[in-house]
Amino acid sequence: MRSAVAIALAAAVCVSLAAETAGATSADHPFPRPPGIHARIKLWTRVYAEIDTNGGLIHDNRNLDVVYEVIRWPKGLSPAEEERRIARAKDHYADVLERLASGKTRLTPEERRVLALFPPGTSRASLGAAADRIRFQRGLANRFRDGLIRSGQWEDHIRKVFRERGLPQDLAALPHVESSYNPQAYSKVGAAGLWQFMPSTGAQYMRIDRAVDERYDPWRSSEAAAALLRDNYRTTGTWPLAITSYNHGAGGMLRAVKQLGTRDIATIIERYESPTWGFASKNFYTSFLAASDVERNAARYFGEIRRERPVQHELFVTRHPTSAQALARTFGVDVGLLREMNLGLRDGVWNGRIAVPSGYAMRLPRVAGRPSAEQLAAALPRMEAERPARAKASASKHRVRRGETLSLVARRYGVPLASLARANGLRTTSKLKIGQTLKIPGTLIAPSERPSRAAAAKASKATKASKAKASKAKAARSHTVRRGETLTQIARRSGVSVKQLAAANGISPSTRVRTGQRLRIPD
C-alpha cells in the first residue's frame, strides 16, 4: 500500500514535470538506454556472462568503465582465502593510485597501465579520490546459467501474468538479478523467494503466516511481483524508475525526481544524493538491462541451454485443514514432488506438525488417465488439526543449512523465536553453525491420517492403481531420466540433495545425466 507521503510526492512531481520528455519511455521502447548508463550495462553483462563465482572484477565504484583487473582463483578456495586475495588486489591498486596522485613522473609499466584507464588530463586529486572507490564485484556467470535452466519451469507463467496485466514481458528477466531464478533463495536481510520480497512488502501482496509463506511460491510471488511493479509504474511514471523502485522504493525514487527535477534515469544515477542511495540501487536498472540482454543471447554466451520444462499440474483447493501426508497418499504423489510443487507451504506442514490450511490451492502433478483432483478428493478424510491446548508436546529436528539464522528457522516452523531458543539452550541472538541440529518445540499435531473404510471405499479403481504404482516406485527408489531433466531437478523431486544423489550413483554433482539413464535414489 502506498503511503500518503508517496502519493503527495507523486502529485507534486506530476505537476512540475508535465512537459518533460528527457528519459521518457513508450509502449514500444519501455526500457531506454541513454549513453550515460552504457558502461554500467557493459560491466553487468561481464558479471552475468563472462566471469563465474570463482573470481570477479576490481573496479571503480563510480566510473564503471574503469576496471583494474579480473581476478580468478581455483575452485574450493576457503572464503577467508578469497577475502585475502580480494583485499590484496584492492590494496595494490590503492597504492598505485596514490603514487600517481603524488605526481610521480617516472612511471612503472603497471602505473602507466592504470593511468591509461582514466581520461587524458585526469587530475592528481581525481586519481587520489579514486583510491577510495575501489570495489570488488564477484562474477555470477555460473549462477546465471543455472538460473536460465531453472527459469523454464516458470517463465511461461510469468510472461503470461505480465501480458494479462499489460506489463512489458521482458520484466521476466528480473528474477535473474534478484535470485538467479532460485525460488528458495533467502538473503541476509530477510528477502525471500524468486522475487526476493521482504516480509513487510510481501505481506501487502501475498499470504504470510505460520503455515504459508507465498514469497517462496514461484506462481503466487510472480503474480505479486506483477502487482508491485504495476503499482511502482503508476506511482513513478516510467519503467526505469519503476524497476529501480523495486529495490529502492517508490517513495525514494519520487524524492530523487523532486530533488533533481528530472525523471532521466542516467541523471538520477549520477547526481541523486541520499544516505540510502547506494551501489545496489544505482545499478539495479542497468543490471536488469544486462540480465535481459544475456537472457536474450544465452546461446552466444553459454552455448546450447536446455531449460527445465514446466511440470503439468492441476489445482486442488482444500476444504478443511488437512495433512500434507494424507494428500500425498490420496493422490498417489510422492511427498517430495508435492513439496517441490508447493514451495509456499512452510516446513512445519511437511513434517506433519501443521495442517495444510483450509482453502489453500494445492498444485498436483497432472497424470494421464488418473481421475481428476475433485474425484480423488472423495477418498480424502477430514483431517482437522488438534488445537494447541489439546496437542501433546512434540519435538522434531532441523539441521542448520548455510545462511540460516535462529529467527529464520523459527519463522519457517511457525514457532516463537524465544521458544526455539529455550528448547535448544540458546539466546535469541545466538549464531548457528552449519550442520547444527535444532530441536523444534511442538505446537500443533495432526491426528491420525488413516482414511476411514467408508472414505476409502469411495476411491475409484484408478485411484488404487495410482497408489499401487506410486508405492512400488517409492519402494524401488530409482528413477529413469526423462528428456530435459537435470540431476538438480531429480534431486529436488526425490527429496534428497544433489550431493547425495550423485554419491549414490558414483557420479559428480555437475554430471549431465542422459535420457533413459537409471538413477538410484538414496533413502
Whole-angstrom Cα distance, residue 65 to residue 68? 9
Task: Dihedral sign for Cα 474, 475, 480, 481, please.
Answer: positive
Degrees, nearest 5: CA angle 191-192-193 = 145
Torsion of CA 15, 17, 18, 22, to 10 degrees: -170
pLDDT at 177: 98
Predicted confidence (pLDDT) per residue in 368-426, tens digit: 666 666 666 665 554 433 333 333 333 467 888 777 788 777 766 666 777 788 888 89
Taking domain 395-441, whether its CATH number is 3.40.640.10 is answered by no
In 303-455 the beta strands, taken as DSSP E runs, fall at: 313-317, 361-365, 395-399, 437-441
Taking CA 377 as the corner, what is the angle to CA 376 and CA 381, rounded to the nearest 5 degrees?
Answer: 125
| Average pLDDT taken over every residue of the chain | 83
Comparing 395-441 with 477-523, is the CATH topology the same?
A: yes
Confidence of residue 523 (pLDDT cuts 50, 70, 90): low
Pairwise CA distance, residues 130 & 52, whole Å: 26
Residue 103: per-residue pLDDT: 92
Third-level CATH fold of 477-523: Membrane-bound Lytic Murein Transglycosylase D; Chain A (3.10.350)
What kind of fold does domain 4-30+142-302 have according to CATH?
A: Lysozyme (1.10.530)
247-300 residue pLDDT tens: 999 999 999 999 999 999 999 999 999 999 999 999 999 999 999 999 999 999
Give pLDDT, residue 483.
64
Say what the pTM is: 0.70
CA 358 from chain centre, in angstroms, equals 27
Neighbours of 95 (CB within 10 A): 12
* Domain definitions of the chain by residue range: 4-30+142-302, 54-138, 311-394+442-476, 395-441, 477-523
